Every structure is written in C-alpha cells, then in structure tokens.
C-alpha cells in the first residue's frame, strides 16, 4: 500500500513572533520579524543573539527584562519556546 507523501515548504522565510511579558505574567508587547534560517534551533539561536545585543522587534533597544514567548507559526515543527531573562 503506497504511503502519502507530505510536501512541506521547509525553506522559509519564516515569520518569527515574539510576545513579551512582565515578571508578573502580564502581557507587555509583541513584535515579529522574518528569518531566513531553516531549522527551529537556528531561529532560536538568532533570537538569542538579538537578546544578547538587546535589540528585539517590538521593544526599545537596550530593554532586556521581559519574559519572551517565541513562536514560528508556519514552521512545520513549530512549538513555543519561552526565554527567561537572567537576573
């Protein structure tokens, strides 16, 4: 019996959504950008580099104090990742 083949656009660009929360868990802001990376771990590394440079979409440069939910909704292996600021 032949198996159905699933064809997935796995090349991007991917819309990366970042949702920022205060320490209390209250929503603060959000932002997004397009990534040319292919794998989720590469996208997360890219976002991590933004955090280290303190330049993130949707926030004023230099602001790095928010919990951040990272999602790539159109990626075939998407699952949310939570970035927790260092204290």
5-56: pLDDT as tens digits = 554 556 779 999 999 999 999 999 999 999 999 889 999 999 999 988 888 8
Instruction: Report whether 15 contacts 32 (CB < 8 A).
Output: yes
Name the 3-class secondary structure at 29: strand
Sequence-distant (6+) residues with CB within 8 A of 49 are: none
Residue 31, domain member (yes or no)? yes
Residue 2, domain member (yes or no)? no
Residue 3, domain member (yes or no)? no
Residue 62's pLDDT is 75
Residue 1, domain member (yes or no)? no
How many domains does the structure of the chain reveal?
1
Quote the domain boundaries for residue 70: 14-83
Residue 9's pLDDT is 57
Residues 4-18 pLDDT 10s: 555 455 677 999 999
């Amino acid at each position: 019996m032949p198996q159905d083949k699933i064809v997935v656009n796995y090349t991007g660009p991917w819309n990366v959504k970042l949702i920022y929360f205060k320490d209390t868990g209250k929503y603060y802001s959000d932002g997004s950008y397009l990534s040319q990376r292919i794998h989720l771990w590469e996208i997360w590394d890219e976002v991590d580099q933004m955090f280290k440079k303190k330049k993130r979409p949707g926030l004023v440069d230099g602001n790095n104090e928010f919990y951040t939910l990272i999602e790539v909704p159109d990626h075939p292996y998407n699952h949310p990742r939570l970035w927790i600021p260092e204290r």
